[in-house]
A = this chain, B = another copy of it.
Amino acid sequence: MNPASANIEEAILSAILAGRINPGTRLGEQKLADLFGVSRTRVREAMMRLETRGVVQVSARRGWFVVEPSAEEAREAFQTRRVIETGLLQTVREVPPAVLESLREHVAIERAAIETGDVSSRACLLGDFHIHLADALGNRLLTEIIRDLTARTTLISMLYQPTEKAEESSHDHEDIVAAMEAGDLARAARLMDEHIGKVEAGLDLTAKPDPLAGLRELLSPSTFAGNAPSVPHHHTPAPSFEKKD
């Protein structure tokens, strides 16, 4: 609708869905304004829209930050996704062949990306499966809701997921599609429930979102040799938020 401001919003959201923007990343109004060649007004507009969609947050006079969901918020996001996605599968009566075809194709692309080892696109694809599903079985409204929720859970995974299990997720997707193909939507719903449960269980929600993650990442590829302690042993003055610049 507003050409540029919609682009800013969409650009940031899809970067999050693709896992290219880390939770906690600071998004300065002026920098984005320069980047997109508009004034701060439009950027603020996009930011406020993203804030109501739950993907960024403003800290008064400090800046906009990509949300870092708390453990509680993480649980809420997963519960919500479980409710909606199982509800969708159980509400639908039958699945059109074209939809099945499209989903099978999507899963095939997932597997290809995993075997190729294309890490950057596979996270995006795994989330995209759920968005595709909502789009195919539901409607635009539902798709938008799922999209925002997927952005949230993507950020949560970045914060709390110790190890990725892309193969397992893709296999789950395959099973869900198979159940749909067999016309057993109740089973598809149950599999979806388990799938989301597995992803959630794979998180380490006891570990607080690590404010040092950014620093550690910068230091870990060993500029210094022979030190890979899990926690830096020197006293650090808690930089709290800022990670990228």
Contact = CB atoms under 8 A, between A and B. Distances in A.
A206 interface: no
Contact of A82 (B49, B51, B91): B91
Q: Chain A's interface: helix, strand, loop or mixed, by majority?
A: helix
Interface stretch (A31-39, A115-123, A134-142, A226-234): A134-142
A51 B1 CA distance: 11
Nearest to A144: B54
A1 B193 CA distance: 35
B88 A83 contact: yes
A102 interface: no
B90 A142 contact: no
Nearest to A85: B87
B142 A83 contact: yes
Contact of A58 (B1, B79, B193): B1
Given A45-B48, A52-B52, A53-B52, A141 B87 contact: no
A91 to B, nearest CB: 5
B83 A87 contact: yes
A14 interface: no
Interface string A131-175: 000000011111001000000000000000000000000000000
Interface residues of A, number: 31
A80 B80 CA distance: 13
Contact of A49 (B1, B48, B76, B86): B48
A138 B83 contact: yes
Nearest to A148: B145
Contacts of A77: 141
A241 B145 CA distance: 28
Contacts of A48: 45, 48-49
A142 B80 contact: yes
Nearest to A5: B48
A138 B87 contact: no
Nearest to A53: B52
A132 to B, nearest CB: 16
A79 B139 contact: yes
User: Which of A82, A86, A193 has the most B CB atoms < 10 Å from its CB?
Assistant: A86
A114 interface: no
The 5 lowest CB-CB distance pairs between A and B, nearest first, are: A87-B87, A76-B139, A83-B87, A49-B52, A76-B141
